[in-house]
Amino acid sequence: MDSILVKGGTPLHGKIQIAGAKNAALALMPATLLSEEPLTLTNAPRLSDIATMTALLQSLGVEVTSMQGGKVQVLSSHDMTSTTADYEIVRKMRASNLVLGPLLARHHRAIVSLPGGCAIGARPMDIHVTALEAMGAEIELKDGYLHATAKGGLRGARVPLRFASVGATENVLMAATLAKGTTIIENAAREPEIVDLAHCLRRMGAQIEGEGTSTITIQGVDRLGAATHPVVTDRIELGTYMLAPVFAGGEVECLGGRLDLVRSFVEKLDAAGVDVTETADGLKVKRRDDRARAVDITTEVFPGFPTDLQAQMMAMLCTATGTSVLEEKIFENRFMHAPELVRMGANIEVHGGTATVTGVDRLKGARVMATDLRASVSLILAGMAAEGETLVSRVYHLDRGYEHVEEKLSALGAQIERVSGS
């Protein structure tokens, strides 16, 4: 397994290109199952999660052609061979469950393995199941698989979500495009990835209104056609790299960055003493003083502070002046980066879903272990600010969601390299 070696203390300068959003692409790719016409995605990110989704769709008979080094994906589900999403693939990536809605909508049946828990929580699928049953699906759990059928196809319905689940909103949104009649999703997730999916489905011929608000209305149509769609900028990669100059000092411009994608995050950066300036090409970021200031964070559904930036923010606050309180409200176990940061000299106390971080002058390099995707990158960022060397192991987590981190950060002047096999 690869590790990443980081030496701290070098301020960063330059520009970094933000890629297309992993969490948008992982919902856009299954949308091909809704139509027998080709779906072309541009600005696609090159990540191992995308390769996993490609393998899953190919196992169903979808033809996936990657071009321009993976930045363009052409998908065609004209010749489907299966409607079963196998455990071996689904257990590696929860987003595999996003084939459930499209398969039910167009093929009226699906067998999808439950993803099982992951490091950050149990992550059940009850909201997905309840919603699709409201649309006429019959779903039974057998041997760890959801066996779903929709005799005569799905029908439009009022679908209130008990929690604004991103994945459940995406599954229902896709399923409703081909259901008979009108579907109204209430308490829908409002994330930019939902908006991006709705834009793509509309290009395919879907009739959708209200994406980005808590109520989305979909008028079912008989069939969907071909489309070409650019994947929206990755707001989590954006937020992650915006923090890089806050850790290491210097000034960085994130190309493709859009303020509307990270407004709640930027409000917290401003309170922490960080300047964010909109440029013609993106967002420029610079710390005002030698150290950031403590801020309190509570993760919420969009447009609140994103849970996927909580680990990165906690790492930054380890050397801020003062004490910060972070509340993780979305996942039940998303503080696994805290003990790793404590190994680097951070002062963090975790009680349930609340972490209290008291800033120290400087972290010290150490051997640390990545536990999940976003925790892994927060340890690398911490290493850039620490005294001495930090070796982050298990970086396969990192490659799931960040394109060539060491190359992008080296280009800004960071002393970082990948150490294979240790």
Applying CB under 6 A, among 39, 137, 146, 168 the residue interacting with ligand EPZ is 168
Applying CB under 6 A, among 308, 328, 340, 403 the residue interacting with ligand EPZ is 308
Applying CB under 6 A, among 374, 379, 380, 395 the residue interacting with ligand EPZ is 374
Applying CB under 6 A, among 116, 117, 124, 181 the residue interacting with ligand EPZ is 124
Applying CB under 6 A, among 45, 102, 167, 192 the residue interacting with ligand EPZ is 167
Q: How many residues bind ligand EPZ (CB under 6 A)?
A: 24
Kindly tell me which of 165 and 319 has the beta carbon lying closer to ligand EPZ: 165
Regarding 307 and contact with ligand EPZ (CB under 6 A), the answer is yes
Applying CB under 6 A, among 125, 139, 174, 179 the residue interacting with ligand EPZ is 125
Kindly tell me which of 120 and 363 has the beta carbon lying closer to ligand EPZ: 120
Shortest distance in whole angstroms from residue 318 CB to ligand EPZ: 20
Give the interface segment with ligand EPZ, choosing from 124-132, 273-281, 310-318, 383-391 (CB under 6 A). Answer: 124-132
Tokens 């299954």 map to which residue? 30
Amino acid at site 250? G
Look at strands 72-76 and 39-42 and give their pairing.
antiparallel
Regarding 188 and contact with ligand EPZ (CB under 6 A), the answer is no
Regarding 373 and contact with ligand EPZ (CB under 6 A), the answer is yes
Applying CB under 6 A, among 18, 127, 243, 261 the residue interacting with ligand EPZ is 127
Regarding 116 and contact with ligand EPZ (CB under 6 A), the answer is no
Regarding 244 and contact with ligand EPZ (CB under 6 A), the answer is no
**Which residues, 6 or more positions from 378, have their beta carbon under 8 angstroms from its beta carbon?**
311, 312, 314, 315, 337, 341
Give the interface segment with ligand EPZ, choosing from 57-65, 159-167, 204-212, 289-297 (CB under 6 A). Answer: 159-167
Kindly tell me which of 256 and 359 has the beta carbon lying closer to ligand EPZ: 256
Do the beta carbons of residue 216 and residue 353 sit within 8 Å? no
- Which residue sits closest to ligand EPZ, CB atoms considered? 167
Kindly tell me which of 167 and 256 has the beta carbon lying closer to ligand EPZ: 167
Of 330-349, which residues contact ligand EPZ (CB under 6 A)?
330-331
Kindly tell me which of 308 and 399 has the beta carbon lying closer to ligand EPZ: 308
Question: Quick one: three-class SS letters along the chain?
Answer: CCEEEEECCCCEEEEEECCECHHHHHHHHHHHHHCCCCEEEECCCCCHHHHHHHHHHHHCCCEEEEEHHHCEEEEECCCCCCCEECHHHHCCCHHHHHHHHHHHHHHCEEEEECCCCECCECCCCHHHHHHHHHCCCEEEEECCEEEEECCCCCECCEEECCCCCHHHHHHHHHHHCCCECEEEEECCCCCHHHHHHHHHHHHCCCEEECCCCCEEEEECCCCCCCEEEECCECHHHHHHHHHHHHHHCEEEEEECCCHHHCHHHHHHHHHCCEEEEECCCEEEEEECCCCCECCCEEECCCCCECHHHHHHHHHHHCCCECEEEEECCCCCCCCCHHHHHHHCCCEEEEECCEEEEECCCCCECCEEECCCHHHHHHHHHHHHHCECEEEEECCHHHHHHCCCHHHHHHCCCCEEEEECCC
Shortest distance in whole angstroms from residue 126 CB to ligand EPZ: 5
Applying CB under 6 A, among 23, 73, 233, 240 the residue interacting with ligand EPZ is 23
Quote the CA–CA distance of 328 and 300 in Å, as a whole number: 8
Kindly tell me which of 68 and 163 has the beta carbon lying closer to ligand EPZ: 163
Applying CB under 6 A, among 123, 155, 203, 394 the residue interacting with ligand EPZ is 123
Tokens 């890629």 map to which residue? 19
Tokens of 196: 């991006």
Quote the CA–CA distance of 335 and 371 in Å, as a whole number: 10
Tell me if residue 254 is catalytic.
no
Kindly tell me which of 126 and 407 has the beta carbon lying closer to ligand EPZ: 126
Kindly tell me which of 254 and 292 has the beta carbon lying closer to ligand EPZ: 254
> Going residue by residue from 56 to 95, which x/- string records binding to ligand EPZ, judged by CB under 6 A?
--------------------------------------xx
Tokens of 351: 């009680």
Applying CB under 6 A, among 401, 406, 412, 416 the residue interacting with ligand EPZ is 401
Look at strands 145-149 and 138-142 and give their pairing.
antiparallel
Kindly tell me which of 105 and 131 has the beta carbon lying closer to ligand EPZ: 131
Regarding 121 and contact with ligand EPZ (CB under 6 A), the answer is yes
Q: Which of the residues are catalytic?
A: 118
Give the residues lining the site for ligand EPZ (CB under 6 A): 23, 26, 94-95, 121-128, 163, 165-168, 307-308, 330-331, 373-374, 401
